[in-house]
Structures are given as structure tokens and as C-alpha cells.
Structure 1
């Protein structure tokens, strides 16, 4: 009998290799999910605000100037925040001036000059109320700082001060800005990205200043001075918001501007004989209501001046219906403008001498013609103008200032000139002058118009006078590559063109008649200043509704020009 074998059935299990693979997949998926969650979960890390503002110690305070976190730091002392003098003058356009000679901080009001001694309570020559309770000007590490509370009394600025960390948010530009409102509670981050540290929280309805708009993020400034990023989806559409000054300070500078257009002519007076030739010089002049003789020059670093002022000259001008604005210049090459104007004693001496001469001869105004100023000299010059304006205002003298066109001379501070002085005169010429590398027009129309447009950005049109040239330069481009020029009056230029047989045509690009002549020595070029070019410039005076015109100089003109000038000043 055959034996029946029992077959044992073996259970088949999952191979270990598959289990291992499965675990690997599970772990990998978990890792992917964790990574995904980690990647898309916003960071809740808070940034240290002292680190954000780069503060070094509790005595420093961050400064947020309008919409910019400044690199400069304020100081905290006795519970007050102090602002660096350099920030007050360079950024905030404050009317404060550190006088090295007297070691005092000066502030010029319309009728006096305050003197503030550092580290002491407020004292003044202006008769204003005594400031109590804190030092107005302090010294830290060799630099001077002014109390923010004091600045708000004498400047059109407002501020909000915050603690932890100490900071001041200062508004000083009163213009429109872009703002956005938070749709919901959100956060401001240091950079655009959910992993960037949080600077602060924003509540639904909070208003933020919009600084920059990107694809998914918006760069904003918070009310308490944090410049950071908010997700764009959390914000409403941007709106235009007008920033209005609501402080107590008011600019109360009065001006002696006339209620008629100024027609000024400069009279170059270098000797008593020139004064005596007044009648001859004015024989064919018509329509001029202001004559400005070049009577005064700074002759020494202590503020000494020379004078050719003449009472007889003034009487003759008045008899012709002309005011006399005596001109003072800084043309003496042996006298340092920087050395002179940086000393209060020298500035004061100049002003006292000008006032004395103005009273002696009966002048109606002072015309300041300080040229070729450097950036280093400019702050001292504008302080001189402020101090001179106090004296002029008190003595009913018109104060006018001669400036080059704004290109390359932004540091002249025309905005301040336009506040404290009565007239700002644009010297709309010398586009090409002695020392120019190439021949060119003295005053092409585009050059003149650009000077007007740029000046009007800082000075009210009722104070802007545009000066025109009565002279022309004849240029010679020598065969050796050298360029030279000589100055001609109108008649002299026309005579030269005719004698040399120059072919002249109207160049519409510069709005002048242009002539050229090839000689054995080289090529001569001339851009004529004549009745036609002058009329184009006078059209600009009318178009931009300027306060008037000035002309350099008497003796270079033809009689025909006066009718043209008067036509556009009606």
C-alpha cells in the first residue's frame, strides 16, 4: 500500500526587501511633507530692533527722516532726543548755523539772530521767550546736536518719538505720498519673504506708507518708523495721500518785492569817473527802473570793503525814476571768501559798512554778486545772506542775489535765498566763457530756459529775475587746437561781422544768429546777442511770469533793445 505523503503548505510572507523599500518611501514622503510644510510655513522669528536700527548703546536714537532710516544717529540725554547739526542743515534744511569763531549756534529770524551757547539754557538776542528745563544744544564726541523739541519750534517739521528702542520719526516734506491700508491683521517683515524675520505686527485698517511695489510683496514704512515688507495680498490698493503740516511754526519772512516788473541794468563802475558819466551812460536808456552800480568789493578777510558809492549818482537816478541797488562782489583774488564769510565778525563788518554807505548815499537796495562759490563756502554764504536780510528788512533795503544757472550749483541753497531775500537773479549767460574747452553760445535759448525752469523749482516766480547778456563772444579755434575768445558789445560785434564779410544765418537750435569765418590762424565763430535773440529770451520772461529782467551791462547794448524789453514787461 502506497504511502501518502503529506505536503506542508508554506505561508508566503512579504519579502524583507519590499518592507525596506516601503519604509524608505514612507520616510521619504514624511520628509517631503515636512520639508514642504517647513518651506511654506511663515517664520515667527522676531528681529531685534536695536540690531535693525544698528544702535550702539542706550544713548543712541534711530532717526527716521520722512521715509528713510538715516545712517546718522540721534542722541538721548535727560529724556530728550538730540539731532546732529549736520542732519538739521544738510537734510532738514534747518536755518541753524554753527559759528566757529564765537563757538555758538546761530538761528536767524526775520528780525534778529539768536545766539545759543552749547550746554547752557537758551539765551537770545532776539527777545524771544526763555526756554526752560533742558539744554538746547549739546556736544557729543566733538559734534553738536540740537534738541528735537527746540527744532519743532523753529522749523516746519513734526515728530513722533518712540521707545524700545529710542527713535524719532520726523516729517519734513509736505507733499503727497502713496499709502496702503491693511485688509487684515498681518506682519511687516525685514525682507520680502515669509522666512524673513518679523519687524512688527499690523492690524486690519492700519495705514502704511507705500515705498515700493513688487510682484508679491510691497515695501512699506510703518507709522513708528519701520521700513519693511508686507505680502501684497494683505493690502488694499494704493491711494494718494496729502501730507499736511499741522505744527505751530510759521514762516513770517516779509519781502520788499515790488508790485511791478523789475527792469534792472548793471552799470560797471570802477572809478569816480564812471559815476560822473551817469548822464552820458543813461542818455538813450529807456524803461529801466533799477540801476545796479558795481560800487562795493570785499577787500579783506576781516570784512573790509571798498566803496565808490555816490550820493550825486543816486540823486540823478532817482530823478529818472530809477531805484539804485548797489552791488557788492567777491572778485578780489587775494581775499578768501571762505575765510571771510566763515567769521561772524567779518560778516557783521561787511553788513555794517554796507548799511552805513546805503544811508549815506540814499540807496534803495543791495545786490550781492558773490561768484564761483565752492560747496565748502556755500553754508557760510547763505548765513551771510540771512544776516544781511535782517539788516535790509529793518532798513527798507531791497536785497537781491545774483546766481549762476542751477546746473552744478545746487549747493547755493536757492530755496533759502528765495525765503530770506527779495529777489533771486539768474545770471542766464556764460554758457560758454573764458576757459571753456570749446566755442559756443554765451546764452543759447535752451540753456536760458533750463536755468529758469530749475530755479522755479526752489524760488517763487514773483521773486525770480532772469538776467540777459548784452555782449557776444568772438571765438577763435586756432589750427593748433587752442580756443580763445574776446568780448564784443552789440555794435562792435555787428561791425566785425560786416567788416570780415561773415555769412550769418539764424540758428533755430540756439535762437541766435550764427556766423563763421575761416582764416589763416584758424576758424572764427560767433553767436550774436542782438535784438532778435534778446526778444526770444524776453518771451521766456513773459511765458514763465517772472518778476522781471536784468541785463549785463550798460554800454554793450543798442538803443533798440529797450523797446523790446519794455514790450515784454507790460
Structure 2
């Protein structure tokens, strides 16, 4: 069945009528008016004004994008510098912000003494016990009382500053930077809002560049990091650390932050002009025109002085003898002596200078160094009495052998004592030498400062392994080389003497543990023979090594100090062109070792 379409095709007239009606209906509906949107208008206006600004300022379109895709949040600069009060001042040391603080008091800038000592000038000494600040030159001790503006010196001078020289605050001593500048070469520049200072103590070459177009210095690398401040076109910045798209820089007002690398131009290297306002005084010294061959003489009592004749009878080439004579008698710093003027005369007749040892080991149950060294009056008493003894004996030098400087607490009083002792030795015209532990074992004796004020620094290049530790050599060649290299980082080689041991340590096992027993060089062959030990050369240790079993059945080991091991050490000393050799101790050696030593000191 066919389905027919019953819809009739409309006639032309009907289409027109239909169309007419349609237009009429549409016409009867009014188009809705678009309402004004102020937000869109404002955004458009900002875009237009931004574009105008970019064009007028000579910037590119990238700056316009920057306005809307980068954070404009300002960083809290007080929080950035950790400012804790109106007097608090942050420190930028070189190109680094440090935690130590400065203070702004009465229009003067004061800096934590620790910052001054570690970075500007180490010679300032604060005695909390005396309430004084001291500065020591080659011939003068300058003293000011904490909280005052006046000073006096050990040569009778005096003066006043326009400011208080030092003040205490927050359990810290702060020293006026203007006072520090009287004795030091450095620069400082102060900034406000917030308070911070730039300290410059080094004048190394720097990488700098110019800001190519205005940009933001940010706390961290990245467009969303807070803004420290706007850097304008043409400003110069110091380049610090470079990353893929960002670079750390320091601005002219010592803000350290990050900018995009593409905002820089004209990179170059510059060297700041050093500050040379202060003329450093010369630390004169007594320097022998030959290599030193110093023999330590262990003396326990006055009777020990009589051993000199016997001890030197089989020696060669010793030009300095150092007897243990001076010590502390009591807690008041009284200096005792077991010295002998006749001993000095005998040594002089044998062609030897005498450097008197002053140590802190005898009577150490009767005194504590921290009851002596922090006090100026006691230091002066000790120095006066010690040098009076040296003069009375007719000796040529003083050898300081303080071996209990084992803490930071003792470090500063000790080095001030050394400075003041050096002044007295210089005035009296005697040699001032100082014995030092191996640097890794004792970091508190400040060998660098000793090397400035003393005539000779003696490295005790032994006791590598001692009783209570694991068995090992007393003074291996690697130990000696490392020790010398560490000292020579801070001290001129013409001042360095290396002390070698005339003894070995024999290690014996008992109850599963090893203990060491000192064997003098002259007796070591007897020990080896008695215990049936044969030795062979250990190249790594630079010593002859042997092991065996003692008569009582105990396992034993020994690294032998002999003429062969001493010769190996001398090779290291020659290579470093140091000032000579010392030996602990005369009377313990085998006679053949002197040929080895004199071949070094006398060039034979």
C-alpha cells in the first residue's frame, strides 16, 4: 500500500504570507541589550595602559607579560634579615649573609667580637674576668675597659675615642667598627630599612654584570618568589651562583637574591680596590742563618743537669739544646726553675745555644691554666718571672711547651699569653719557640697566629698511635708529611721545625687488648733480640716493622724508629724546605743517627 503525502506544497502567496508572519513575530521580540561589565573594562584598561607604559619606557612585550604572570608580592625584609629590634643590624660578610649580628648604638656600628677575630683581625682579646678588651702589636699591649671610650697602652700611652669602644649585649661583646679600623684594613657600608651592613675583608676578583631592563630581585629563583626590590635598568650587580634560567646576585645595597639571566648584559670581571689605610707593623724575628738541630733534654730535677756532659759526648751537630727547666710552682703563677748557669756555660762551650723549656706539666695538680692565663696581672707576672730566669741563667731563648690547651675555652687566653710573651722576648732579644701537638689532634693552639708572633714553631711529629688505641707506628712517614703540610698552610717554612722521636712503641697483647711500651732507640735492638723479632722495611710506614711473641707468650708488634726511619723523615723535611729538626730526647738515641741528621743540617 502506497502511502501518499497529504501535505500540500504551499503556494507562493502562502509562502509570502507565512514569511511575513515570521518576520512579524521576530520583530515583536526585542534583542536583549548587553550590559556594561566594569571588571572587563578595568582589565582592558590595564592592558592598554600597560602597553603604553611598555612602549614609552622602551621595554618589550615580555615585560607586559611579566606584569601578569609573575608575583609582585613584596618580601618582608625584616624577616629576610631576621631583624629582632631597632638596634639589631644584620651582617653581609663578603657575598654571604651570616647569622652573627651587629648593633647600632648611639649612631655607631658595633660588631660581634667573634666576627672580628675570625674575619677581620684575630688580635683582639676579650678578658671577661678582667672586664677588658686588649689589642696587641709587636711591641705594645693596648687596653680598654668594657663600656668606656678611653684606652691605655703598656708603653705609657693613653687616649680617648668619641665613642664607647666596646659594649656587652646578649651575652656577647660588641666592638665599635671605627675602633677596629684603627688597627685593620677592611671596608664597611651601612644601609637602613632594614638595618644591615656590608663587611668587605677580601679583595678578590668578582664577576659583575649590568641590569639590561628593569626586573625584580627575588628571594628565590622562580617567578612566584617574593620580591626583595626592583632592580632598575643600568644597575650593576655581583654575580654569585648560576642556574639554568636564574642567577643569584648581590645588589649595590647588599641584598642577595635571584633574577633571570636574560635580564643581564655586559658581564665582566672586576677587582675591588683594597683598603690600605692601616699600615701593619712588622713582626721582627730572630732567624738563624743555618738549619736548626735542636735536642730536647728531659730533666726531672736539678741533678739531671749533670747528664749533659755524658749525653753530648757521642752526638754530632747539635746547635741548640732545650732543657726542661721552668714550671709553675702554684696557682698564683709563680715560675719555678731547676736551671743551671753552669749547664748553659758548658752548652755554649760546645757550640750550642740554650732555649729553656717552660712547660705546664709539672705541679699540674696545684694549678689550673684557666686560673692564670685569663688574667692580665697573672700573665704579666708569669712572663716577667720566666724571662728573668732566662736572663739569670744566661740562656739564649725560651721554648714554650704548654700541652694542656685542649679546649676552646683555653684557646684565646693562651694565644694572648703567646702574643704578650713574644713582646717580652723581642724586647729582651731572645729566641721564642713554641711546641705544638700534631694539628689534627689539637685545633685550639692557633698555630697560624703563633706563626706570626713567634720565631720558630716546632711540630711534635710523633705519638701517631699511643697507649689506649690501636697498634700502629709512632711516627709513620705519611703522618709526618701530612702534619708538615697542615702546618705549612699557616706558617712560613723558615719558621717550622719538625721534631722526630728517639723512641718506638712496642705493642703487646694482653687479655685481648694491646698496650704500648716505650722503647728507646738505643735499646730497641736488645728488645728485638730478646723477643726473637726480626724486622723488615715497611715502605708505607717508612719504618722497619716486626712482630712475634714475647717470653711470656704475648703477641707483640713494633714499628722501629732508627737511623733509616729518621732518614726517611728528613727527606720529607728537605722537600718542604723547613727550618730544621728537633729530637725527643737526647740520651735515648743510637749513635749512628747523628750521621744521618748532620748530613741534613750541615749538608754533608
TM-score scaled by length of structure 2? 0.84
Cα distance change, pair 388–41 in 1 and its aligned pair in 2 (3 A): same
Cα distance change, pair 282–179 in 1 and its aligned pair in 2 (3 A): same
- Correspondence for 1:233: 262
The answer to whether the aligner puts 1:281 opposite 2:311 as a matched pair is yes
With 372-381 and 120-129 compared, the bigger mean Cα shift is at 120-129
3-state SS in 2 of match to 1:123: strand
The answer to whether the aligner puts 1:485 opposite 2:516 as a matched pair is yes
Cα distance change, pair 68–129 in 1 and its aligned pair in 2 (3 A): farther
Structure 1 contact 428–468 (Cα < 8 Å) conserved: yes
- Of 83, 105, 108, 2:111 maps to 83
Post-superposition CA distance 1:515-550 (Å, at most 9, x none):
001345432000011111111111111101111111
Which structure 1 segments of 5+ residues have no match?
A: 14-26
- Correspondence for 1:20: none
3-state SS in 2 of match to 1:341: coil
- Correspondence for 2:426: 393
Structure 1 contact 302–345 (Cα < 8 Å) conserved: no
1:36-51 aligned within 5 A:
41-51=69-79
Which structure 2 segments of 5+ residues have no match?
A: 1-7, 27-39, 48-63
Structure 2 contact 212–265 (Cα < 8 Å) conserved: no
The answer to whether the aligner puts 1:138 opposite 2:167 as a matched pair is yes
Give distance in 2, aligned partners of 1:404 and 1:205: 55
Cα distance change, pair 403–205 in 1 and its aligned pair in 2 (3 A): farther
- Correspondence for 1:153: 182
Structure 1 contact 159–168 (Cα < 8 Å) conserved: yes
* Pairwise CA distance, 1:212: 2.3
- Correspondence for 1:115: 143
- Of 35, 52, 55, 2:83 maps to 55
Give distance in 1, aligned partners of 2:479 and 2:267: 39
- Correspondence for 1:344: 376
- Correspondence for 1:568: 600
Cα distance change, pair 104–493 in 1 and its aligned pair in 2 (3 A): same
Give distance in 2, aligned partners of 1:550 and 1:239: 51
Give distance in 1, aligned partners of 2:375 and 2:195: 37
- Correspondence for 2:460: 427
- Correspondence for 2:332: 302
Cα distance change, pair 251–565 in 1 and its aligned pair in 2 (3 A): farther
Give distance in 2, aligned partners of 1:40 and 1:533: 75
Post-superposition CA distance 1:228-256 (Å, at most 9, x none):
22323344697665566423223322222
Structure 1 contact 76–82 (Cα < 8 Å) conserved: yes
Give distance in 1, aligned partners of 2:341 and 2:229: 71
- Correspondence for 1:95: 123
Cα distance change, pair 279–245 in 1 and its aligned pair in 2 (3 A): farther
Structure 2 contact 211–237 (Cα < 8 Å) conserved: no
TM-score scaled by length of structure 1? 0.89
Structure 1 contact 100–343 (Cα < 8 Å) conserved: no
- Correspondence for 2:56: none
The answer to whether the aligner puts 1:66 opposite 2:94 as a matched pair is yes
Give distance in 2, aligned partners of 1:217 and 1:3: 76
Give distance in 2, aligned partners of 1:143 and 1:457: 31
- Correspondence for 1:411: 444
Cα distance change, pair 256–3 in 1 and its aligned pair in 2 (3 A): closer
Structure 2 contact 210–266 (Cα < 8 Å) conserved: no
Structure 2 contact 119–201 (Cα < 8 Å) conserved: no
Give distance in 2, aligned partners of 1:358 and 1:535: 34
Q: Please report the RMSD computed on the Cα atoms of aligned residues, expressed in angstroms.
A: 2.7
- Of 508, 530, 533, 2:562 maps to 530
Cα distance change, pair 497–114 in 1 and its aligned pair in 2 (3 A): same
Cα distance change, pair 238–184 in 1 and its aligned pair in 2 (3 A): closer
Give distance in 1, aligned partners of 2:253 and 2:501: 53
Count residues with an aligned counterpart: 547
Give distance in 1, aligned partners of 2:596 and 2:263: 63
3-state SS in 2 of match to 1:287: coil
